[in-house]
Structure 1
Amino acid sequence: MEWWLIYLLTGAIVGFFAGLLGIGGGLIIVPVLINLFSAQDFPADRIVHLALGTTMATIIFTSAASLRTHHLHGAVNWPIVRHITPGIFLGTFGGAALVSSMTGQLLSIIFVVFIFYAATQMLLQFRPNPLFQLPGKIGLLLAGSVIGALSSLVAIGGGLLSVPFLTLCNVKLQHAIGTAAAIGFPIALAGTMGYIATGWAQKEMLPEHSLGYVYLPALVWLVSASMLTAALGAKLTHSTKTIILRTIFVVLLYGLAIRMLFSLLQQ
């Protein structure tokens, strides 16, 4: 528990940017936890798994708060959520189950590639033009499965994938963002269940106070801080030049990705 202050600080920073920019914090939390877990001498071949599982568990709380806010503003398209959620559960749980059979190095490579993608998407503020109509129930089931599987592999709430998909399918941007926030909750819930279930078989080699691949001390402090600072970030959205802070966040993402890339090259 002597690491609580660093967990608390990380949660505060992540929560602030999540509230300010409307993004999830997984892209920051995962690389930070990888470094912290390494410093605590956790089993080397399970560190990335623990970082992903713990991060996914934090998203349960942040996505619930975000979902409530968007629902109150009438920005959630609930019929889409209802039809895409079964696919989300299938894909997310399946992706989390797949993670257990993958090496930490492979997971790190996937994560680094995704950080570069996410940072570039934010830098360019890319939003695809509407080209298609929203698919039917089967199409949403398949889309949810893909979004869920990819989200579980990199421990995100899915917004970076679901917002472009919904925008491409002619859903208004405001509703795409609100609906993506709602989709984030089943992604986080199913992903966390998957990481707990697959990590349970490895519990003998995991650190004390772990619930599968979820490290509970880190989870408690990260969530405690992020829930407080998310509200502050949300308030500052309307009184601060967010372009400056968005740029800082993108630079931070690139820095974390480059650092992880160098670490991978040195292995």
Structure 2
Amino acid sequence: MELTLAFIAIVAAAGLVAGFVAGFVGVGGGIIMVPVLLELFRAAGVPEAVVVQAAMGTSLSVAVFSIGSAIVRHGRQKRIYWRLVPMLAPGSLAGGWLAARLATVLPGSWLQLGLAGLLAVSAVRLFRGGGPGGTGHRRVKWWSGVLVGLGVGLVAGLSGLAGGIVLIPALALVLGLPAGWLAGTSSAVIVFSSAGAALSYLTARPDVAPGDGFVGYVALPVVGVLAAAAVPSAQLGAWVNRRVRGVVFRRVFAVLMLLVVVRLLLSR
């Protein structure tokens, strides 16, 4: 796959936007990267049989860096509820790994349609009211935390998104976290789902070779360009997050969820 100047410029621009989204909302930035990578990889001649997995694997690999950058900023601002992370992280890591393996053999169109319906309902609910966030921290049993984390990981591996798109509503509506802590806490968990899924895509052996520069389903040169742009912009997104009201966060998140729905439906 040839990295032309135009290709690099588009990838870098996508990385800047995706990094900001990762830091501001806490969803990883895949809602930006996956659609862009799908179009770029198709234009670059990546075989259709593996182009979706290639976009997902590459996006999730970048998410590890952009989310990691956001975690540093959120941590400095003391906006991460660390007590939840050990309960959610193991299931998130395992779920991401397993789901990425499944994504290489299951019909992605079925999974995308079901996820699109779920996200559409959630987005409308959040935009109209009642969602992120809560007013306190509810006591959580360890097994429920593992199950929530597993669900987040499954979504990450099967959709190419880091998992925050479903974790944030769970943190707010089920666990009762205030809006100010949602992005930071989500980031501290979905870095594990992203890492698990990315490693799974990286070590997979595609039946059809995606092209030069790929290891498994991950385009390493593209990861480098995206990460270089996404890491600093994630810091900016996390900084801006602290300076907006909860209702703004809620509505921005709802709109992003609807964008994901559109992406899922169009890419079936």
Quick one: distance in 2 between partners of 1:156 and 1:76?
A: 21
Quick one: distance in 2 between partners of 1:247 and 1:9?
A: 24
1:52 aligns with 2:40: no
Matched residue, 2:139:
134
User: Match for 1:64 among 68, 82, 86?
Assistant: 68
Quick one: distance in 2 between partners of 1:165 and 1:251?
A: 17
Matched residue, 2:93:
89
Structure-to-structure mapping, 1:76-115, within 5 angstroms: 76-103=80-107, 105-106=109-110, 109=113, 113=117
User: Match for 2:167 among 148, 162, 166?
Assistant: 162
Q: CA deviation at 1:62?
A: 1.0
Quick one: distance in 1 between partners of 2:242 and 2:177?
A: 24
| RMSD of aligned residue pairs (Cα, Å) | 3.4
Quick one: distance in 1 between partners of 2:116 and 2:66?
A: 23
Which segment drifts farther, 254-263 or 151-160? 254-263
Q: CA deviation at 1:121?
A: 6.2
Q: CA deviation at 1:208?
A: 1.1
Residues 14 and 28 in structure 1, CA contact (< 8 A), matched pair in contact too: yes
Quick one: distance in 1 between partners of 2:145 and 2:185?
A: 13
Quick one: distance in 1 between partners of 2:264 and 2:154?
A: 22
> Cα distance 1:227–1:246, how it changes in 2: closer, same or farther (>3 A)?
farther
Structure-to-structure mapping, 1:98-247, within 5 angstroms: 98-103=102-107, 105-106=109-110, 109=113, 113=117, 116=120, 120=124, 123-124=127-128, 126-127=131-132, 133-167=138-172, 168-197=174-203, 199=204, 201-202=205-206, 205-234=209-238
Instruction: Please report the TM-score for the alignment, with normalisation by the length of structure 2.
Output: 0.80
Q: Which runs of 5+ in 2 are unaligned?
A: none
> Cα distance 1:166–1:234, how it changes in 2: closer, same or farther (>3 A)?
closer
Quick one: distance in 2 between partners of 1:53 and 1:90?
A: 16
Residues 85 and 189 in structure 2, CA contact (< 8 A), matched pair in contact too: yes
Residues 97 and 196 in structure 2, CA contact (< 8 A), matched pair in contact too: yes
User: Could you give the per-residue CA deviations for residues 57-114 of structure 1, whole angstroms, max 9, x where no partner exists?
Assistant: 1110111111112222222222321122221122111111111112454465466557
Report how many residues are paired. 262
Quick one: distance in 1 between partners of 2:192 and 2:84?
A: 13
**Counterpart AA for 1:69:** R
> Cα distance 1:240–1:145, how it changes in 2: closer, same or farther (>3 A)?
closer
**Counterpart AA for 2:95:** G
Residues 46 and 104 in structure 1, CA contact (< 8 A), matched pair in contact too: no
User: Could you give the per-residue CA deviations for residues 190-228 of structure 1, whole angstroms, max 9, x where no partner exists?
Assistant: 11111112x3x2176221111111111221111111223
Q: CA deviation at 1:162?
A: 1.9
Which segment drifts farther, 84-93 or 58-67? 84-93
Q: CA deviation at 1:33?
A: 0.9
Residues 20 and 242 in structure 1, CA contact (< 8 A), matched pair in contact too: no
Instruction: Please report the TM-score for the alignment, with normalisation by the length of structure 1.
Output: 0.80
Which segment drifts farther, 247-256 or 152-161? 247-256
> Cα distance 1:8–1:130, how it changes in 2: closer, same or farther (>3 A)?
same
User: Could you give the per-residue CA deviations for residues 96-149 of structure 1, whole angstroms, max 9, x where no partner exists?
Assistant: 111111245446546655764676466446337679943311221122111211
